[in-house]
């Protein structure tokens, strides 16, 4: 991949990362519930999910999923169901003062904190991995920046690192924005409302994914 091609893809990566979707909702929800330092582990999972999608596309499995009606439908409904499940979990989350929950980020990490962070990484990975819309999108965008006469593996590596970088930056912004809101949420009814707002956003993202169809 030459310099001019990479610059074009770098610009496209910002648009891809900034576009609202399930990843942005997940990052903001994580920042709201856990503060920036711990909540940012969700973004690490989101990036791993993007890399998984790129690996799937690079291996040719993405084209198979996009072409197979059954495979596409199974992955689509699995992704939609997972987002709806996240929404229900967020809706039912206890209305605890979230400011107090941010404190452990500065404390010595214990077993419980490590478990929570692993769960956030896994949750972020699931959000971006079980999403055929992302696969189809990558299938449509990535080939435009590939130089087919050159080895493809290094080019996919550059694409993965570039998308990973822009997502790390953009999702940091989403997480920080939500964690700023966190400090003003001291009343139980405020927290309950925010839990239900983000729960509804997850369910809405799942519903939108359920309506997504393959290009003809």
Spatial CB neighbours of 47, under 8 Å, sequence gap ≥ 6: 124, 164, 167, 168
Mean pLDDT across the stretch 163-184?
Answer: 87
The domains of the chain are located at: 22-102+111-211
pLDDT digits (tens, 9 = 90+) for 73-121: 776 787 678 778 877 877 776 666 544 444 444 443 443 444 478 899 9
Pick 122 or 151 by higher pLDDT.
122
pLDDT in tens, 127-159: 888 877 677 677 767 777 777 678 888 888 999
Whole-Å CA distances, 53 to 60, 98, 135, 160, 187: 11, 33, 6, 9, 40
Asked whether residue 125 carries a pLDDT value surpassing 50, the answer given is: yes
- Cβ pair 45, 122 in contact under 8 A: yes
Q: Of 120, 119, 144, nearest to 8 (Cα)?
A: 144
Q: What would the two tokens of residue 75 be?
A: 């992955």
């Amino acid at each position: 991949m030459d310099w001019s091609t990479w610059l074009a893809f770098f610009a496209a990566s910002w648009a891809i990362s900034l576009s609202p979707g399930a990843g942005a909702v997940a990052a903001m929800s994580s920042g709201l519930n856990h503060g920036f330092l711990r909540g940012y582990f969700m973004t690490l999972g989101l990036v791993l999910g993007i890399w998984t999608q790129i690996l799937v596309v690079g291996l040719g499995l993405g084209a198979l999923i996009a072409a197979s009606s059954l495979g596409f439908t199974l992955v689509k409904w699995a992704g939609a169901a997972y987002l709806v499940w996240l929404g229900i979990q967020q809706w039912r989350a206890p209305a605890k003062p979230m400011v107090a929950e941010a404190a452990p980020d500065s404390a010595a990490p214990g077993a419980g904190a490590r478990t929570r962070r692993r769960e956030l990484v896994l949750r972020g990975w699931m959000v971006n991995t079980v999403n055929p819309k992302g696969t189809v999108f990558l299938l449509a965008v990535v080939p435009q920046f590939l130089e087919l006469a050159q080895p493809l593996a290094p080019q996919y590596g550059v694409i993965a690192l570039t998308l990973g970088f822009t997502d790390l930056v953009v999702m940091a912004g989403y997480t920080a924005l939500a964690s700023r809101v966190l400090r003003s949420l001291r009343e139980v009814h405020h927290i309950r409302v925010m839990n239900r707002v983000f729960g509804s956003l997850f369910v809405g993202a799942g519903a939108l994914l359920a309506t997504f169809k393959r290009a003809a």
